[in-house]
Structure 1
Amino acid sequence: MADRMNESAGPGLLGLAMAAESGARPRLPLDDYVVRVPGEDAVELLHGVRDPRHGVRLGALWGRLAEALASREGDVIADLGRIGGSDTPNDLLRAADTVVMVLKPTLRQLDAARSRIDALRGLRGARGTIGLCLISDGPYRAAEVEQVLGAPVLAELPYSPADASVFSDGVQPRRTFKTSLLLRSLRCLGRRLRATASTASIDGGDVAGAFPAGVSVAGGGER
């Protein structure tokens, strides 16, 4: 992403946490730390931390960040990585209209996902939707995964390392990348998430901190 932007991505989440610690401004200065993504209309990025040792500075930020995101117009997508550890941003998970766990339909990842989904239900109560996104690299079908985990599969993405590396490692895309099955599946996932989150926002009523038409994406296993 830094290569695509052709400039520094700024201090990101860590800088925002340091600004919040100073207490100089009553409102979280979110607009000072998000950066516009070149070539995209109205898409902004707040990047996370590279050094895991910095994670301890983020704990006090999540509640204020959830409120700040809820006050912004448009959709919010937060990639929270693996959940369940002491650094899990519970305030963001509570506030999101939809939480989506990304996993492969394998025995190992289904087993790891089960306890995490139970924890999410305990954290969120009846708030919004907890859904699944499957990476199609495993022996189980979507219906079987839904039955085991008790959560709906919102989308299935193809197992396509070559195309996925364009996003993860900045690899030069092949000529057919824009029409690839991965991108078509991602667009389908986007439409499903928007519809699900919009419904959750309406049903959620006066729940405090809800992201308007927002989506929080949490990874449940290896991706």
Structure 2
Amino acid sequence: MPVTALVSAKSCGVTTSALALTLASKRPSLLAECDPAGGTIRAGFLEGEVGAGFGLYHLAAAERTGPDALAHAFANHLWNMDEAGHRQLLPGLTDPAQAAALGRTWPALSEIMHVMADDAGYHVYIDAGRIALESGRLHTTLTPAPLLHQADLVLLVVRGTEQSLALAKHTIGPLRTEMDERGNGADALGLLLIEDGPYRAHQVAEALTAPVLGALPFDPGTAEFFAKGGRPPRGYGRSPFLRHARTTTEHIEAAAARRAIQQQYPHKPANPQLAGVLQRLNERGGQRG
């Protein structure tokens, strides 16, 4: 299963989208709330059920002890979001000031997430929050850069509005360069569209020169439920929002599988001699015409 990181140029519903994908997936799934600006699921969707003594921040101290301590702490700080344990959550930071302590933890944490994906069969979703840039690069404290570098896919969450696309255009170039030079390649970058606004998927893909790998309908009622918890809106289980989220998880898995095959069997460059023959044949054909 893939490790998929979700980010945005500004607040575009990253956490809501990541939560929806995690809950809608047909496969076991894990949501790691790794936004350096702080997590919101603990106080929102979980309605304070999880205390501050539980979650991401405590992994930093464990990492300094060693890999075994980090792996043990990671398992102990996962929260079951269903009775079967098929939906797991790593709750985020309770204070943005805690983010600086995680700088050296991100790479090791990324390795554990890939073990969860590759060996345990979990589709791992990372809520990486808002992209922060410094001199055209991912900010090393305000963005969990190693998690993006090592993710199988990075989805930039955008809305179909002029404002959202304008902000995304300034972000996607540096993000593409970052993935190309330090990450898994620029082709790991895709878009997740929130269908709020006049622009449709093909227009968004053309404007940002990146594929739209999924789209979620604008659903304020369900979004509020994910943001604040409480009673689900009527028809929640059969809502278009969850249906589209489930379809999006399948598209993400298919895209990640295609990339894995392409990386395993890369396109071989053409034989230079054969290329020369073909060029001469084409030239002759043009002269005869």
Q: Distance in 2 between matches of 1:191 and 1:9?
A: 34
Q: Partner of 1:174 in structure 2? A: 233
Q: Partner of 2:131 in structure 1? A: 83
* 1:49 corresponds to which of 64, 78, 93: 93
> Who wins on radius of gyration, i.e. which is larger?
2
Q: Partner of 2:67 in structure 1? A: 26
Distance 1:144 1:102, change over 3 A: same
* Percent identity of equivalent pairs: 34
Q: Distance in 1 between matches of 2:173 and 2:110?
A: 22
Distance 1:66 1:128, change over 3 A: farther
- Residue type of the alignment partner of 1:69: M
Distance 1:157 1:106, change over 3 A: same
Q: Distance in 1 between matches of 2:188 and 2:214?
A: 14
State which drifts further: 38-47 or 72-81: 38-47
Distance 1:106 1:174, change over 3 A: closer
Q: Partner of 1:92 in structure 2? A: 147
Q: Partner of 2:219 in structure 1? A: 160
Q: Partner of 2:210 in structure 1? A: 151
Deviation at 1:18, TM superposition (A): 2.0
Q: Distance in 2 between matches of 1:145 and 1:37?
A: 33
Q: Distance in 1 between matches of 2:57 and 2:50?
A: 18
Unaligned runs of 5+ in 2: 1-40, 134-138, 266-289
Helix, strand or coil at the partner of 1:71:
helix
Distance 1:10 1:187, change over 3 A: farther
User: Does the 8 A contact of 1:49 with 1:55 survive in 2?
Assistant: yes
Q: Distance in 2 between matches of 1:184 and 1:119?
A: 33
Distance 1:114 1:149, change over 3 A: same
- Residue type of the alignment partner of 2:203: E
Distance 1:180 1:63, change over 3 A: same
Q: Distance in 2 between matches of 1:159 and 1:42?
A: 26
Matches within 5 A, 1:113-152: 113-125=168-180, 126=185, 128-152=187-211
Q: Does residue 39 of the first structure (1) align with residue 91 of the second (2)? A: no
Distance 1:204 1:124, change over 3 A: farther
Aligned Cα root-mean-square deviation (Å): 2.3
State which drifts further: 9-18 or 46-55: 9-18
